[in-house]
Amino acid sequence: MKKKRKILISIILGFILFIVGFLITIPVFVINSMVNRHVDFNEIWKAEDFGIKAEHFFVRTDDGLRISAYKVDVEKPKAIIICLSGMYNPSATIYFGHARFFKKHGYATILFDMRAHGESEGNMICLGYKEFLDTKAIVQYIKNDSTYRNVPVVVFGLSMGGVTAINSIGEIPEIDGLISLSAYSSWEEVFCELMAYQNPFFGKNGKTICSVGSLRKI
């Protein structure tokens, strides 16, 4: 009887260890597939499609990446707005529509694709944690242009761009204003929500077997 009990306990413990190992391994594989990549956009918009002109240029980040950007100028700008898109899609060129609106009301615009997206260099998406370096390079470009001397700088981002915008204003003192839309609070929460969305096994909002606290320990 004791021998059977030991075997049963060993089986249960083995099963528990297997489940724990499985849950620890999932985030590693999934996150790696999410971030270790370069995104090439299926659709790119042109400034001319929106009745405006844009200058295409590149900047270099402090960690050596070449970042693709577009500038839409206005005379005597009230401010210059830096537009950042989200992760994977769409291209920042979708902001040409916003740039037309901003131009009409006296605001200049710079839109750029963050690292590992489009014509910008990089093969790792940093989920907003390092992308502020891309914004920093854009801000340095602005500050080196006499056209924008004493012109307020506003950063405007969506989703991961919103996260980057928040981090940017915290890291770059030259930024004067922030607009952040649909920014997530942490990559752990994004991961759990994606897992729950893709597979009901992980429960509503990922809370059944995927918790933010457990991911932070990995």
Is there a contact between 55 and 43 (Cβ–Cβ < 8 Å)?
A: no
- Residue 47 in this model has a pLDDT that exceeds 80: yes
Q: What is the pLDDT of residue 33?
A: 67
Q: pLDDT tens digit string along 171-201?
A: 999 999 999 998 888 777 767 766 665 555 5
Closest CA to 48 of 85, 100, 110: 100
User: How does strand 80-84 pair with strand 55-60?
Assistant: unpaired
The pLDDT of residue 213 is 46
* Predicted pLDDT at 208: 45
The residue among 77, 81, 98, 83 whose CA lies nearest residue 151 is 77
Cα 98 vs. chain centroid, distance in angstroms?
19
What is the pTM for the complete model shown? 0.78
pLDDT tens-digit profile of 94-130? 999 999 999 999 999 999 999 999 999 999 998 888 9
Q: Do residues 83 and 162 make contact, with C-beta atoms less than 8 angstroms apart? A: no
List, in sequence order, every residue forming a beta bridge with 107; answer none if it has no partner.
none
- The Cα–Cα gap between 73 and 75 comes to 7
- Domains in the chain and their CATH numbers? 2-35+187-216 (no CATH), 47-181 (3.40.50.1820)
